[in-house]
Amino acid sequence: MSKFIIQPDPEDSRLTRPVTGRDHEGREVDLDVIMERPLTLFLNDQEIVTMMTIGDYPDCLAVGYLVNQNMLHGDDVITGIDVDEDLDVVVVRTERETNFEDKIKKKTLTSGCAQGTIFGDLMEKFDAVRLPGDAVLKTSWLRALNKSINTVPSLYLKAGAIHGCVLCEEDRPLIYMEDVGRHNAIDKIAGYMFLNKIPSRGKIFYTTGRLTSEMVIKTVQMGIPILISRSGFTAWGVDLARRAGLTLVGRARGKRFIALAGDERIVYDDSSGAEEDDDDENGEESPSRRAAGEGSP
């Protein structure tokens, strides 16, 4: 398996809690459930938003949220990030003075879980982004990514009720973040990229969740030309992907997938024999099929 820079830690005791209940036959069962807690984000002296999150990587979540809401610019200098776990607060401080009082008033609720929001003028950056035309997605890469991502130990396989996003390069998954909302998971990756100056060129984005307008907008704003999901599409997500020239691939299970935008980037190089189902080499049900049993994230 490819080595991740960051991958889920399902054994982190802060992220799940055991709960006892009863099943359909009245038997007592123990179940690990995902923890969620509020995190209030301040940019300098201004309160921006309160998010529900599992609580890991609060610095990356805060910075990524601000980047994806166009509140932090590429040339901004962050002078400090203060996290107070007792107060559930994170403060991002910048050299540039900021004031987003008017912008905050224009936020609108989106279909994302938990506290997902898109501000009314978020599209101001979307149409200005030019995604690289020389990017490619080989079907052999896609198959390898499906296997690596769906079999790595994760909170989803341990407890469910969570979303995952993965930054990839060719057939290598690099950064795998999870959270109760897919927008949080993608923001964590955006924040990590910003803080560590990781370029978007040559990258692929993978999500376990639906390919919604919000996922498309944030992927485009991050400058990543290819977005993949094992789940399905929304119509607006497809329309925006075509508008931006984003390659949009959904229902990716094993060798199977459907591309509804940007299919000119796909290189069909996987000639590994007959079409396979989602079962693994031992004939056991794969994580992606078990995920489908719980419903699309």
Whether residue 150 contacts residue 297, with contact meaning beta carbons closer than 8 Å, is answered with no
Q: Mind listing the pLDDT tens digit for each residue in 194-238?
A: 999 999 999 999 999 999 998 999 999 999 999 999 999 999 999
pLDDT at 100: 83
Q: Which of 59-73, 96-110, 267-281 has the highest mean pLDDT?
A: 59-73
- Per-residue pLDDT reduced to its tens digit, 77-113: 999 999 999 999 999 999 999 988 766 665 544 444 4
125 — pLDDT class (breaks 50, 70, 90): confident
Q: 214: helix, coil or strand?
A: helix
d(CA 168, CA 207): 11
- pLDDT given for residue 167 in this prediction: 98
Rounded to two decimals, what is the model's pTM? 0.86
Check residues 268 and 2 and name the one with the higher pLDDT.
Answer: 268
Exposure b/e, 134-169, CB count within 10 A at least 16 = b: ebbbbbbbbbbbbbbbbebebbbbebbebbbbbbbe
List C-alpha distances in Å: 24 to 28, 232, 251: 10, 30, 31
Start-to-end C-alpha separation, the chain: 24
Is the predicted pLDDT of residue 162 greater than 50, yes or no? yes
Q: Give domain limits for the chain.
A: 137-294
CB 178 within 8 A of CB 155: yes
For residue 205, give the H/E element and its range. strand 203-207
Mean pLDDT computed over every residue of the chain = 87
Amino acid 285: pLDDT: 38
Question: What average pLDDT does the segment 50-70 reach?
Answer: 95
When pLDDT is cut at 50, 70 and 90, the band that residue 2 belongs to is low
Q: Which helix (H) or strand (E) holds 27?
A: none
For 20-31, the pLDDT digits (tens) are: 999 999 999 999
Residue 129 tokens read as: 């982004």
Rounded to 10 degrees, what is the CA torsion of 226, 227, 232, 235? -70
User: Which range, of 24-38, 149-163, 240-254, 267-281, averages the lowest pLDDT?
Assistant: 267-281
**pLDDT of 119 higher than 60:** no
Beta-strand relationship, 163-169 and 256-261? unpaired
The amino acid at 34: I
Query: Contact 44/98 with Cβ under 8 angstroms?
Result: yes
Q: CA 118, CA 121: separation in Å to the nearest integer? A: 8
Checking if the pLDDT of 296 tops 50, the result is no
Instruction: Check residue 126 and give its pLDDT.
Output: 86
How far apart, in whole angstroms, are the C-alpha atoms of residue 45 and residue 67?
17
Distance (Å, rounded) from C-alpha 3 to C-alpha 148?
Answer: 10
pLDDT of residue 284: 34
Fold of 137-294: Cytidine Deaminase; domain 2 (3.40.140)
Q: Cα 54 vs. chain centroid, distance in angstroms?
A: 14
Residues 6+ apart with CB under 8 A from 90: 39, 40, 41, 42, 58, 59, 61, 62, 81, 82, 83, 84
Question: HSE-up of 258 (CA within 13 Å, CB side)?
Answer: 9
- pLDDT category at 127 given cuts 50, 70, 90 is confident
Model pLDDT, residue 270: 85
